[in-house]
Amino acid sequence: MSLSPSQRRYLRSLAHDLNPLILLGAKGATEAVRKELDLALTHHELVKVKLSGGDKEERQAQLDFLAEGTQAETVQQIGHVAVLFRRNADEPKLALPR
């Protein structure tokens, strides 16, 4: 599922007030973190993630690992904070604009 620009804008506005649910530590993105993110996406659909330190390429690799492993869409990334979205097929919680 690819998000349209208006859907991304809407999700960014919703994510603005969210606190990060997933915080990456010194070990970075691990399989355990990916499982926790999967559970958070199932429950919330829209999740803010705080990436661990490192350079831009390392943070992008962490984000790619998490997004691909959970089939989530990256809505936004600013510095160390990223927003991921995955629609819950059984019980959608967020109504997206067309």
12 belongs to a structural domain: yes
Which pLDDT tens digit goes with each residue over 4-52?
999 999 999 999 999 999 999 989 899 999 999 999 999 999 999 999 8
91 belongs to a structural domain: no
**Domain of 76?**
5-85
Residue 60 tokens read as 């992008």
Strands (E), 3-80: 22-23, 46-50, 73-78
97 belongs to a structural domain: no
What pLDDT sits at residue 71? 96
76 belongs to a structural domain: yes
The predicted model gives 77-98 an average pLDDT of 93
What pLDDT sits at residue 1? 65
CATH for 32: 3.30.110.60
pTM above 0.85, yes or no: yes
The predicted model gives 57-76 an average pLDDT of 96
Q: How many domains does the chain have?
A: 1
